[in-house]
A = this chain, B = another copy of it.
């Protein structure tokens, strides 16, 4: 991702940790001219993401630091694998460490969680997609981590595509009116997806044309029938508490996409650490 897009976020993260006085422990205990060689290494296997953001945290504190990347974002890494080297003044390395790791571990956690779901449905045409259930402030980075983990992206916000949910349908007066109003309002480069809970709703949606349908909380058999009904006229997305265990049956039902909030809102971090040689 463009540095311009992540620099404000990394800057703010550093300031959140440094507060008014900066790293008083490091300033007190580490000589100003001390230098280090530091290694960023994985403590557990997973998929790497966020290395740009993490290294930027160090660089923003000291543009004189030297970096060497030993692994790339999106790469599967092993426990103990070294992903980057940092060399230079000790103080900024220690002062930025926690901020850098907080970004790196969280984003790698998202990539790793996505990879685990994607691997679970390997062989099927379905792809894992994310949701808007992301961490406030980190959406673009988490969406990128999803792609790095083998997933695809859903909307980035409420402004770049239409997803008509049950409440919209209710307030618009039904699936038909909702789709008509949406189409009349949407620019020609805006796609429209509709959430349906039943096959009846699906039939109504297809009658009014729609780019994609979100098949919410349907069991595999219902999904299979839904896919058959759609018959290629819309992209099909299944959602609803997807896990590694449930994903294969859903993929087998023939849907195009399986969306998961878990990969962004509840993925555990991937543990990476900083070791000083």
- State how many angstroms separate the Cβ of A187 from the closest Cβ of chain B: 4
Query: Could you say which of A12-20, A222-230, A244-252 contacts chain B?
Result: A12-20
Docked-complex contact A185 and B28, CB < 8 angstroms: yes
Task: State in angstroms the CA–CA spacing of A172 and B30 once bound together.
Answer: 5
Quick one: which of B5, B28, B169, B265 contacts A22, CB cutoff 8 A?
B5
For A203, list chain B residues within 8 Å (CB). none
Q: Is A257 an interface residue (CB 8 A)?
A: yes
Chain B hits for A265, CB < 8 A = 102, 105-106, 268-269
A residues 103-134 with Cβ under 8 Å of B? 103, 105-106, 109, 129, 132-134
Given A95-B2, A160-B189, A171 contacting B34 (CB threshold 8 A):
yes
Q: Is A139 an interface residue (CB 8 A)?
A: yes
Q: Which residue of B lies closest to A185 (CB)?
A: B28
A167 cross-chain contacts in B, Cβ below 8 A: 36, 90, 94, 276
Contact of A2 among B9, B13, B61 (CB under 8 A): B61
A136 interface residue per 8 A CB criterion: yes
Beta-carbon nearest neighbor of A274 in chain B:
B167
Q: Is the CB of B158 within 8 A of A4?
A: no
Q: Does A152 contact B (CB under 8 A)?
A: yes
Q: Are A159 and B23 in contact (CB under 8 A)?
A: yes
Give the docked Cα–Cα distance between A153 and B187 (Å): 5
- A162 interface contact, C-beta 8 A: yes
B171 in contact with A136 (CB, 8 Å): no
**A4 to B137, Cβ gap below 8 A?**
no
Name 18 A/B residue pairs within 8 A (Cβ), A-sorted. A4-B60, A12-B137, A16-B137, A16-B157, A19-B156, A21-B140, A24-B158, A25-B163, A25-B168, A28-B182, A29-B182, A30-B171, A94-B167, A129-B187, A154-B188, A163-B189, A188-B212, A266-B267
